[in-house]
Amino acid sequence: MAMIELAAGPNCLNCQHALGEPRPRFCPACGQETNVKPPTLMEFVQQFGGAYFSTEGALWRTLKLLVLKPGELTRQYLAGRRKHYVLPLRLFLTISVMVLLAMKMQAQNATTIAVDLRGGSVAVQPPGTTPKMDLDLEFGSVRVGLNDGVFRCENLPAWVCARLKRRTVIDPKAMQEEAARFGERFVGNLGGALFLLVPAFAAWVRLAWHKRRLRYTEHLVFALHLHAFWFLALALSLGPWKWLDVIPTLAIPAYALAAMKRVYGGRWVPLLARAAVVSLAYGLTLLAVLFVLAMWSMLF
């Protein structure tokens, strides 16, 4: 196959704008370089990481504002100042994918998984622990549990209970393999569940601050930024230093309140009341989604 030649003609190769003489370095109409040539391997690397990952690039500028000034990144976006920051969806996807990948790698090496959706926790233990699987799933009248080898299943179809029992009441060696597969499936499915959780959070926030007359998509920007920070906080708990677990526990609610105050304003008492309503509604939504996610990960 013959290589395509990029001839430097009198017009821009991108938009066909007449360049004139002396020939400018960039097209005045579309901004593309006028001297276009096949890229080298080093140029590919620079295109991927240049401005995005440099110390003065958009990613680091965005992360600095996201972490140090809760809610300010949302305010900047809603005010129209967007050029120097990573867009909300791209930021959320970048951070969440990296954290979920780290969680998946941790789950692949696990021998123990403990799930307690009543307390809102899913814990994956590293190798070296005694292989076991403790389950305590409860949502409404539906209950599924496995404690010390005793299985219980209430208010679910018989075939579901039978399949769950086959997956959980097994010998220690098979349980070790099943725990690793369950953790991997759970984390893998969590990425898809986020596309329900983040819009749901934005919907609850819109209901709580309906008098602000903001569009749903503007609340969605706030939700994306908030969840991006939550994932950063969650990343601290993935390391070997267990004392860092207290940081996300304290930072997540404190950051959310500070961000709500900066974005939506108002007095503290009404804000705390609205935040409590949003927390309750989102907490129930989160538990429901995690319950379905855990059941799906165990069944399939």
Distance CA 82, CA 68 (A): 18
Is the residue at 78 inside a domain? yes
Is the residue at 12 inside a domain? no
Residue 200 has pLDDT above 90, yes or no: yes
Residue 212 has pLDDT above 90, yes or no: no
**Could you list the residue range(s) of the whole structural domain that residue 191 is in?**
68-299
Whether pTM > 0.85 for this model: the answer is no
64 vs 155: which has the higher pLDDT: 64
Is the residue at 238 inside a domain? yes
Residue 277 has pLDDT above 50, yes or no: yes
Is the residue at 159 inside a domain? yes
Is the residue at 18 inside a domain? no
Query: What does the mean pLDDT of the chain come to?
Result: 79
Is the residue at 118 inside a domain? yes
Is the residue at 198 inside a domain? yes
Is the residue at 24 inside a domain? no
Structural domains counted in the chain: 1
The 10s digit of each residue's pLDDT in 13-44 is 778 888 888 888 888 888 888 877 766 666 65
